Structure 1
Amino acid sequence: MYRFMILWACAAFLSLASAFPATAQMPLPSTGGAPAAEAPTISPEDMTPEAINAAVARMSDDQVRSLLLDRLDAAAETAAAASTNDMTFFEKMSRLWTAFTTPLMDALSKLPALIPGVSTAISNFVESYGGASGVMTLFGLIALVLAIGFAVETAVRAYMNRAKELTVATGDDSLRGAVGFLLRRFMREIFGLIVFYVVIRIVGRSILSQEQLAFAGPFVTYLIWMPRLTAAATRFMMAPQRADLRLVNVNDRWARFLQRHIVGLIFLGGLTIWAVSFTTKNGVPGPETRLGFWLDTLVYVYIVAIALIARDGLRDMMRGTDPDTTDFDEVAANAYPYFAMGVAMATWALVSILIGLGQVTQLLHGAHYVTMFLLLAAPVVDTAIRGLVRHLVPPMAGEGPAAEAAYISTKRSLVRIGRVVAVGIIMILIANAWDLSILQLLQNGAGIADNVFSFVMTLVVGYVVYEGTSLWINSRLAAEQTALGMSQEDADAEMGGASGSRLSTVLPLALLSAKATIIVIFGLLAVGNLGIDITPLLAGAGIAGLAIGFGAQQLVTDIVSGVFFLVDDAFRVGEYVEIGGTMGAVEKISIRSMQLRHHRGAVHTVPYGQIPQLTNYSRDWVIMKLKFTVPFDTNPNQIKKIFKKIGQEMLEDPLFKDDFLQPFKSQGVFDIDDVGMVIRGKFMAKPGKQFMIRKEIYNKIKAAFAEADIDFARREVRVAIPGMEAEHYDDMSREESLTVAAAGAAVASQDQGPAAAPAKGPD
């Protein structure tokens, strides 16, 4: 009858817990001292009365009892989860507040029992080792083992120093030289610690009993091994005795302070873990005294004190030595000490909440310490990223503002990519510390935490792709601009400077299109990872695009026209063009329009769809022709020689020789008018360079004509008075002089003709 009742009770519980088949099929633990036989298993779909009867018939009473207890626990957990899901937001907040305050109130209530409880644990420990003499023997043996380990380690290090002394190559002040020296020293320290560990392990097993080893192992690990390992790592980063090799930007005072107190912090954390284990093993469980709570709280107080005292050093460490810092770098440097305090207090609050909720499995493995360490390592990681970028980025290519701007932009992009990658790695490490599977988190999870993690990781990947694309396109654009020699002087020229290449014109549009595409794609993926169906978004975007297309036909016309203009290579950035009487250098192009900068400063924005015809004055080469009017009696051959000489001199001038495509030369007599002979010269030059060459040619011709006693022809009006000889012109009366002047003015006004229309081109 007993077995029959238990049989049907199991069937009822298994029916209620059919949602947990994996648990129902687990082998049953033994409740006695001897190992229990493996329990038979049964699947929920096979739960017929005959199958249940056969399964229970093969179970012992202990196995049946364990199965019932497991089902009761599962049912209780299911009920608790259901009740939690039914809570309102304020009820959940109230539950979290209760979980946060419960451990603190419990620790305060048990504070009077702290000292007596620790004393009891110590007394039990002394009694277990045979009294004070036994404890003294234990610590004496441990000291002996440690002394032997230290001696062997010192001898090994001395031998390595004699074999090869650590030095820095003379004149090697680079990051590689500093890291190489510090890394070699760090590896020697690690090797010495390994030797120390191996020796004390061998010697300890030889002279200590198993009971003594059970105490000595954790004691040495948490209170000696971990602090020494931390000291080696902090000496590598801080180099407190070698300011010339220090990897972080901090002075000697703060380097020694941080190195010393980081070791002290690790020692305190190790003491917390060891002390809780020590009291528990010696008959005083942690909940009786809450020693672990107070020691753990002291760790966070210690972190806050370090951040508060060394805030100036931490700011310098975050700021680094790179001169090309941004406002964000400065804000982050100033905020880091307070960020460290916030991380410490937030971790303390998280630990209290988890203890109040009874979820202490990860805390026992130190997940909170790993999380806090990774977050507090931000200055070291950030400084390392900026230092690596500063020393590994290629040197600036070329000279001028374009090259300098490209160099700084490249550094900042690489730093941002490094930061985002570091954030992603830190998130993965934190997830692993809390026993969260990255693959499961990246899949479609039902929990909001899974969705948020996938959302953040999608944004991280998208940002890396965004920055990487921008970095590549900007570097190509800067290389094109630098190779073409584009500068501010070119932009200030009368009709634009040197034209950009076709690639330098298309790349800005390609960058804009790539950025927009990346933002849309990864934005939709990120929203989808939050559990939101993006199909309506895509459908709505398609309908909105169709509506915009019908309502903005001119916009579509502008975009399509711009695409064909770019395909035809009708203009490039920097070229001087004319569009329907509007003239200027192409300063900027966008998807639907272009901006022309007139040589007087005005900026004209011209949509592509409104360009009927485009005249380009800066494509490939430009010929400039100069006219000079000289008197009729001037020898044209003499002027030809002067022009040829000037052309040769300018070809040898380093300021102009690279700008000529054909030298300046004479074209002979171009025209003869009533003033004199018109002599013309010409030269071919690179677009944008002709105006500086023209100015220099004018100066040289003026000087050469003055040296050769050649005058420029001037327009004159001669008035002949019938019946009066020229020698009597000085004897004219005032009325006659006024009459002659009026006649000359009339002739001059007739020669000028009507007002001419303004000529095209720059004034």
Structure 2
Amino acid sequence: MSMAQAQSQEPTSAPSYDALAEVLENEQSRQQLIKELRSLAAQQAPSAAQAAENATDAAEPSLPSQLAETTSEIAGGLSDQFNNLVEVTGNLFTGNVADDNAAFNSATFMNAAINLGLVVLATAVLFWLLRRLASPIFARFSHWSRHGEGKTPVLRLVVCVALACLVDVLAVGIAYVGGNLVATFLVGETGELTTQASLFLNAFVVIELLKAGLRVLFSSRYEGLRLLPIDSSEAAYWNRWLALLIGMVGYGVMVVEPLININISSTLGQGVNTLIMFIAYFYAVTVILKNRTRLRHAIRARAEKSTLAAGQFSLILLSRTWHLLGLAYFTVVLVLTLLSPAEALPFVLYATLKTLGLVVVGILLSSLLSQTIGRRITLSDELRRKLPLLEPRLNSYIPAALRFLRVLIVSMAVLLIFNAWYIVDLNAWYESEAGGKLMAKIIGVAIILAVAAMVWVVLASLIEHKLNPETGNGQPSARAQTLLLLFRNAVAIALATLTIMIALSEIGINIGPLIAGAGVLGLAIGFGAQKLVQDIITGVFIQIENAMNTGDVVTLAGITGTAEKLSIRSVGIRDLSGTYHIIPFSSVDTVSNYMREFAFHVGEYRVAYRENIDDAIAQLQNAFDELAVSEDNKREILAPLEVAGVIALADSSVIIRVRIKTTPGMQWAVGRAYNRLVKLHFDNAGIEIPFPHSTVYFGVGKEGQAPSANLRVMEQDFDVNGHPGGHAKSGENVVAADSKSAVANDAPNDND
């Protein structure tokens, strides 16, 4: 008999259920039926295999075709549901329900509805009372989270939220048990839990647990128990909206639809389910479009406060597209529900919860990192004394490390969210050969960079330890300081080069050609940059010979100043006027260093011919004795005064040379102080220091005659030696000329 003939037969010609039961009860007839079924299965197997092969050989439909087919399927299903819903609704009012071939019993339905209402009321009242009793506990948790001492604020927040969530879950559990007791012993038949009550209580547990999760994110009454960084008004708004949406969809799908399926009609229940999903969809779309601009501005304001460039860019992008993401999410939920209502809701619920969990964990980890390693690292006083630069160096690494960890957290969260929605399959990718190799390379490069950073910190800290006068072998010499600083620079360059090479090799890049190319390039640079090579070679020998060090006063290439910075190629000198000179070593023929072991102040002092030379030398010695006992200079003088004696009989003076041995670099300061004392001692002893004189010239007019000078006679007393202070003799008056009628000629006169 063909299938078409079987479908055209009247229902009365089909075998009855009693006949089928009799066949199954008889052992012989049952075995015969089994053989016939196996024979039919063997005959249909080749055709099924052929059909599968044909289906495999057929070309996969394109994406537009699949989209059109899905849209057509959804439209056809909605049309069928609407027609069936109209038919069932009409039959419901006429008292004929086609699904079960039974009349609708309104009395039974009302009784079940009343019993269910009592269970709902008892459970809701009990849950409300439990929440009221738990309010002081929530308030204490919130206060400790915001104002407690000890622990990081994020850790306090997580602990308090976890404890509050535990109390919330406990309240849901007690309300569920209380509802079961009411439904079992106070409503309906004693000792039996009705299907309606069971459906409601199961839905109550799921929905209230979801709402407890919402309260974790959007706690409006307790700011210390809110994970998301938003204010109370925003939290109350979104908590209310999402709770209403969850309650409408949850109770509609988990309670209303099954009750209609059981008591009225499965067709009506399916139609009600579709209607609930459409109402929830349009409600969500309305709320999203209503808050599109306001939320965009709020996210943009938070983006402007972000210190991380990647985070700021992500927030700005989210502010522009959040409404599109929300509309896409609810559209996908609606389509999946219409296509596969039995499987869509569990999948969407699981993916949504996983997405929210990943977002919250990412935010908490980022905040925790900011509050733990984002703060300035403070070392102990002893360690700071031994390694003074270690604390600033570690703190300089914190922003880069924090930025890297935040990017890593965001990337992992995005990938896991995509995996939750089956956009990508991380497990399959990781188990593949390419995924495994890529992860191994990423981990290897991260380890290489971490090891290189630790090696650099250790070596730099050891160099600082040697340079620190409080921890090494005392104050390091200038040569040791210079060599250690050059060694630190060389270590930094070598370590950076090795790290880059090893990282490239770990990634999979063949560094052999790179090294060969670098060698050829270095050879070419060596030929083309002979001056640079000469600078480096000369600098190496200058360092080997310890010709100068940082802080030495030197003369190089005709420039005298303090050597501030030495590299392998050049030296930086700061002269007396503050000008900074960079002198390449290739231009250095002679190094004059004024800072080696000791120095001398060489002083040459002129006295008049009429002065007693021994008295002048005695005054020079007295000035030195006073200098040697002064607090500022006594530690800088290394030997007694060396008097060379008269070194020249000049035209207008006698020159006496002395020499003072000082510590290196202090010869100029000691010399300035000694010159001051010499002047004071010579003045007290009346010893004249000759100096150049000027001749006053009054000038001559065109007629060849000098103009009359404005002169006046000033009486002044002179002593017998001609010095002021004695009584002036006759004819020894001082003549003063008016400056208005005199022109000074600055030509020196060697006469006393």
TM-score normalised according to structure 1 size: 0.58
Question: Equivalent residue for 2:642?
Answer: 669
1:261 and 2:246 equivalent? no
1:441 and 2:429 equivalent? yes
* 1:223 aligned to which of 207, 218, 228: 207
1:429 and 2:411 equivalent? no
Write the distance in 2 (CA, Å) between the matches of 1:576 and 1:127.
110
Question: Equivalent residue for 2:501?
Answer: 517
Residue 231 of structure 1, CA deviation = 0.8
Question: Equivalent residue for 2:121?
Answer: 143
1:390 is paired with a residue whose SS is coil
Residue 197 of structure 1, CA deviation = 3.3
1:309 and 2:294 equivalent? yes
Write the distance in 1 (CA, Å) between the matches of 2:443 and 2:597.
50
Residue 413 of structure 1, CA deviation = 1.7
Shift of the 716–567 alpha-carbon distance from structure 1 to 2, 3 Å rule, reads closer
- 1:318 and 1:383 in contact (8 A); partners too: no
- 1:150 and 1:196 in contact (8 A); partners too: no
Write the distance in 1 (CA, Å) between the matches of 2:376 and 2:748.
81
- 2:200 and 2:255 in contact (8 A); partners too: no
Shift of the 502–184 alpha-carbon distance from structure 1 to 2, 3 Å rule, reads same
Question: Equivalent residue for 2:711?
Answer: none
Question: Equivalent residue for 1:659?
Answer: none
* 2:402 aligned to which of 415, 423, 434: 415
Residue 190 of structure 1, CA deviation = 2.3
Question: Equivalent residue for 2:320?
Answer: 338
Shift of the 216–356 alpha-carbon distance from structure 1 to 2, 3 Å rule, reads closer
| Amino acid in structure 2 at the alignment position of 1:143 | L
Write the distance in 2 (CA, Å) between the matches of 1:519 and 1:372.
36
Question: Equivalent residue for 2:651?
Answer: none
Q: Which has the higher contact order (CA 8 A, sep 6+)?
A: 1
1:211 and 2:211 equivalent? no
Question: Equivalent residue for 2:161?
Answer: 186
Matches within 5 A, 1:552-631: 552=525, 554=527, 581=557, 594=569, 596-599=571-574, 604=582, 625-630=600-605
Deviations 1:109-134 (A, max 9, x none): 899899989999x9999989942442
Residue 247 of structure 1, CA deviation = 8.1
| Amino acid in structure 1 at the alignment position of 2:429 | L
Write the distance in 1 (CA, Å) between the matches of 2:541 and 2:87.
85
1:387 and 2:364 equivalent? no
1:678 is paired with a residue whose SS is strand
- 2:82 and 2:271 in contact (8 A); partners too: no
Deviations 1:298-324 (A, max 9, x none): 657756765742445445555669xxx
Residue 337 of structure 1, CA deviation = 2.5
Residue 216 of structure 1, CA deviation = 1.9
Runs of 5+ consecutive residues of structure 1 not aligned to the other structure: 1-31, 34-55, 85-90, 487-494, 526-533, 652-661, 685-689, 719-725, 731-739, 746-763
Shift of the 560–309 alpha-carbon distance from structure 1 to 2, 3 Å rule, reads farther
2:373 is paired with a residue whose SS is helix
Residue 201 of structure 1, CA deviation = 3.8
| Amino acid in structure 2 at the alignment position of 1:219 | A
Pairwise CA RMSD of aligned residues? 6.6
Question: Equivalent residue for 2:112?
Answer: 134
TM-score normalised according to structure 2 size: 0.58
Write the distance in 1 (CA, Å) between the matches of 2:404 and 2:54.
47
Write the distance in 2 (CA, Å) between the matches of 1:388 and 1:669.
66
- 1:669 and 1:679 in contact (8 A); partners too: yes
Deviations 1:37-60 (A, max 9, x none): xxxxxxxxxxxxxxxxxxx99994
Write the distance in 1 (CA, Å) between the matches of 2:443 and 2:500.
16
Matches within 5 A, 1:112-123: none
Deviations 1:478-521 (A, max 9, x none): 996799699xxxxxxxx999756466424532453255236524
Write the distance in 2 (CA, Å) between the matches of 1:345 and 1:57.
56
- 1:367 and 1:433 in contact (8 A); partners too: yes
Write the distance in 2 (CA, Å) between the matches of 1:582 and 1:443.
71
- 1:99 and 1:354 in contact (8 A); partners too: no
- 1:166 and 1:181 in contact (8 A); partners too: no
Deviations 1:381-438 (A, max 9, x none): 5444323333474479979x98897466333123113213313542563365257765
Structure index of larger Rg: 2
Shift of the 100–498 alpha-carbon distance from structure 1 to 2, 3 Å rule, reads farther
Residue 275 of structure 1, CA deviation = 4.2
2:617 is paired with a residue whose SS is coil
Shift of the 291–203 alpha-carbon distance from structure 1 to 2, 3 Å rule, reads closer
Shift of the 115–231 alpha-carbon distance from structure 1 to 2, 3 Å rule, reads farther
| Amino acid in structure 1 at the alignment position of 2:294 | I
1:191 is paired with a residue whose SS is helix
Runs of 5+ consecutive residues of structure 2 not aligned to the other structure: 1-19, 22-33, 184-192, 470-477, 607-615, 649-654, 694-720, 723-730, 734-745
Residue 226 of structure 1, CA deviation = 1.2
- 1:441 and 1:454 in contact (8 A); partners too: no
- How much identity, in percent, do the aligned residues show? 10
